[in-house]
Amino acid sequence: MNPDLARLHPYPFEKLAELQQGCTPPKALAHISLSIGEPKHPTPGFITEAVISHLHGLSVYPTTAGSIELRHTIANWLDQRFQLAGHIDPVSQILPVNGTREALFAFAQAIIDRRKDPLIVMPNPFYQIYEGAAFLAGAEPYLLNCTEETGFVPDFDEVPPSVWSRCQLLYLCSPGNPTGAIVDAETLTKLIQLAHEYDFIIAADECYSEIYFDEALPPVGLLQAAVAAGYTDLSRCVVFHSLSKRSNAPGLRSGFVAGDANVMKSFLRYRTYHGCAMPPSTQSASISAWSDEAHVAHNRQLYREKFDAVLEILSPVMNVTQPEASFYLWAETPIADTDFARGLFDQYNVTVLPGRFLARDTKQGNPGVNRIRMALVAPQDECVEAAMRIRDYIETLS
């Protein structure tokens, strides 16, 4: 067995299941889950129909690079959404992937040179795939705490040169999971400059970029910052996007990776051996999804309405505010986050995720302690009902 497998931590939901053992939630209250970031809005019918109507493609092997039509569609979307002024080549700079989760993991395996004592810098709390990818690529994670004091984004100015010198890969998550915080254009530009100075790659997980609340201010992207700063070849910059959150299609397993042509050439070679081609019917449905913005705007409106309703209920009793983007609330708890989550489930049959399960202990502490992540993915009536129960629970604690 690969000895690095032993370094992997249990997944947050394994810890949650263990935490809930022995609880007996009231049967009179239907269970409401706010713990998993799985979109529950209906998948648009035109996406489903595109899958069904292209099943005849099952008779051919798809290529790892994907169809040129899909790559052109993705390039057009990137160009329009992030103002790239045509500085994205669908042939050499875009690669379809079966969801960003597997791509974020595989990317580290292709990029890291384990002979050079590598570090992978990442936020803390984080999407656990980053840490697992680091371990299995033979690298050490270097954690940057995201706290309320830093606006829930890493304080990159505090990273010493010795760390950047060992860094081979920087994972960004903007908008952030679980905080919803956005890394601004100025910071992205500084990071691109550091990547060139210290010879590392930036992997920007932007899968929540299309869930935001001000239609006039969509979150800035890494490629957008690169082009604006004059790095029109997108060197050292790679972004990851998905249809799971944008189009409520997590089961489609469709996304893409785009950026630096030299990096993408190596990643394509890795994936060709890995055997990760996207099925033809999925490619066809993806073309339809990336070509339509109306369903995405409607999706954002549904989340706005849920956030407004839930925050009206919870704001008077807990430290919680609307994030800059994403569908999560990163709320402070009046007692230990694990005790809060267990008690809420046991007494009110609502599941939330303790913040410490999404983070790791550091010398400065665990930035997830006394926080919970609530995913507002359920229908609005369920989210409102959950908020009412949470408020009742907090009032019993006080």
The series of mean pLDDT values per 10 residues for the chain, 398 residues long, is 90 95 96 94 94 86 94 98 97 96 97 96 96 96 96 96 98 97 98 98 98 96 98 98 96 97 97 92 97 97 97 97 96 98 98 98 95 97 98 94
Q: How far apart are the first and last CA of the chain?
A: 51
pLDDT at 7: 92
Tell me if 198 sits within 8 A of 154, measured CB to CB.
Answer: no
- Residue 303's nearest CA partner among 172, 149, 175, 150 is 175
Measured CA to CA, the distance from residue 233 to residue 122 in angstroms comes to 24
In whole angstroms, what is the distance from residue 243 CA to residue 77 CA? 12
pLDDT value, residue 309: 98
C-alpha–C-alpha distance, residues 40 and 389, integer Å:
20
Domain 10-42+295-397 CATH (choose: 1.20.210.10, 3.40.50.80, 3.90.1150.10, 3.40.50.880): 3.90.1150.10
Structure token pair of residue 87 = 């500085």
With b for 16 or more beta-carbon neighbours within 10 A and e for fewer, the 114-131 pattern comes to eeeebbbbbbbbbbbbbb
Q: Domain limits of the chain? A: 10-42+295-397, 46-291
Common-topology check for domains 10-42+295-397 and 46-291:
no
Which pLDDT belongs to residue 293? 97
pLDDT in the model for residue 288: 97
Give the per-residue pLDDT at 61.
87
Two tokens at 79?
């160009």
pLDDT score, position 60:
85
Give 387: exposed, middle or buried? Use CB within 10 Å, 0-12, 13-18, 19+: buried
Provide the CATH topology of domain 46-291. Aspartate Aminotransferase; domain 2 (3.40.640)
What pLDDT does residue 269 have? 96
What is the C-alpha separation between 159 and 148, in angstroms, rounded? 18
Contact assessment for residue 308 and residue 355, using Cβ atoms and an 8 Å cutoff: no
Residues whose CB is less than 8 angstroms from the CB of residue 37 and which lie 6 or more positions away in sequence, other chains included: 177, 245, 327, 328, 375, 377
For residues 317 and 135, the answer to whether their CB atoms sit within 8 Å is no
3-state secondary structure at position 90? coil
